[in-house]
Amino acid sequence: MKKDQHGLKRTMTARHIMMMALGGAIGAGLFKGSSSAVDMAGPSVILAYLIGGIILLFVMQGLAEMAVQNKEARTFRDLVQNSIGKFPAFFLDWIYWKMWVLNIAAEAVVAAIFLQYWLPDYPVWLLTLIVAVLVTAVNLFSVKAFAETEYWLALIKISVIILFILAGVVLLLVSFGDHTAPGFSNLTAHGGFFPNGAGGLVTAMLVVIYSYGGTEIIGVTLAETKNPEKVVPKAVRSTLTRIIAFYLFPFFIIVSLIPWNEVNSSAVSPFVLVFQLIGIPGADHVMNAVILLAIISSMNSGLYGSSRVLYTQALDGRISKRFAWLSKRQVPVVAILVCTSFLYVGVLISLFIGSKTFDYLMGSLGYTVLFIWLIIAFAHLKSRKVQPDKGTYYVKAFPVTTWLAIIALLLILIGVIWTTSIVITGVTLTIYLVIIGAFFIKKRKNRL
């Protein structure tokens, strides 16, 4: 089996990393965050996800080109450090790690809540433990086992979303029994397409950016991907079209079928509501199972991404070498176990703020995805000056598309700061200041 020079096996193929990106992006942000996004923007949520998808496309094209130019890169830091310096690379690594460990903490609690739907007599902490053990075991076994598991989990999600889209189209256009096809009247019948104005659209962008976050995990798979300079661009192209489609079409169906102001008031997911409308027996159980798999899939990707950040940091001597220890299967066991510990942090947080755990963490995570995309975009612009050879992934619209992405992200950031809770903004800023302080402390000790 081919390995990179540091010991990680190159066992992942284009289909693996494509499904991993889908698994990371199509998770709780879609199935649980959908209600919040619709409540903020109304029918214009469709436009919000279209704008977010275009920005994602531009950012990921830049990431793909950098991967082609840096064939020996293992993770984000290797891609951006040569072009924009040590501090942005350090900051990117650690906010990416922070994003995933907080995400798996939030989603662990959500997964337990969905399990309680079938097991109401079991406490949340016990069900969270079961989920944590399952996700940890998959990641500890082998990279190939992880990639295959993530592939099939993502495939299940995608299949159900396609079924959802087909069922939604039938409900929109065909009347049967007690159901009257609404057509597209709900898009404008309840306060117009922008019921909450431009402010609602801007506020929803934080949920949108969070929802799309996870796609950039492709940049963490470099050390374990066969022929990354060929596979990564291919995976980026195929993944983006699917992610945009799997968000735009479902949201279009949700706000067309159900009045937008009734979506968030329902006790069940809008996905369950649509299946109930078509009269599918046991729709609540089917969708509960799918949403649970979606969350576990996203946790799977998050644990992979966060553990690889620790591994490469340790390999370069930036943190303890213990995090670089590999099992016989070439899996970074210590790094995975440390990241897994944050699953239990989610349980502790839920003791204080209960079901609001996900909503609070989602706000901070949205900020982080914004900064990750901005750093990648700036690095791509600079990389074209450092390495004028455009390689095999040259897109004629570069660097205009990257500039457009940066301008759009900065405008969204200003809007998000203006409309987001000061508590969420303050907590996120504090975490960032800790990361910045750690960089300068290490620099003073000549460890960077």
pLDDT tens figures, 152-176 = 777 777 788 888 888 888 888 888 7
End-to-end CA distance of the chain: 33
Inside any domain, residue 366: yes
Contact 405, 413 (CB under 8 A): no
Assigned domain for 209 exists: yes
pLDDT at residue 433 tops 90: yes
Please compute the mean of the pLDDT values over residues 191-212 and round it to a whole number.
85
pLDDT score recorded for residue 246: 78
Would you state the pLDDT for residue 309?
80
Confidence (pTM): 0.80
Tell me how far apart the alpha carbons of residues 319 and 310 are, in angstroms, rounded to a whole number.
8
- Structural domain count of the chain: 1
Greatest mean pLDDT range, 104-113, 275-284, 368-377: 368-377
Is 6 inside any structural domain?
Answer: no
Residue 211 included in any domain: yes
Parent domain of 66? 14-440
Residue 267 covered by a domain? yes
Instruction: Please report the pLDDT score of residue 1 as a whole number.
Output: 39
Q: Distances in Å between the alpha carbon of 312 and those of 84, 317, 420?
A: 19, 9, 34
Rounded CA separation 68/232 (Å): 8
pLDDT of 337 > 60? The answer is yes
Would 191 be classed as within a structural domain? Answer: yes
Average pLDDT of the residues in 351-358: 62
Model confidence over 94-143: pLDDT tens digits?
888 888 888 888 778 778 877 888 888 887 777 877 887 887 777 776 55
CATH code: domain of residue 236: 1.20.1740.10
More confident residue, 387 or 202: 202
pLDDT digits (tens, 9 = 90+) for 374-411: 999 999 888 877 655 555 455 566 778 889 999 999 98
pLDDT at 229: 61
pLDDT tens string 42-67: 999 999 988 888 888 888 888 878 87
How remote is the C-alpha of 285 from its chain's centroid? 25
Residue 3 lies in a domain: no
Q: What is the mean pLDDT of the chain?
A: 77
User: Looking at residues 329-345, what average pLDDT do you find?
Assistant: 81
Examine residue 7 and state whether it is found in any structural domain, yes or no. Answer: no
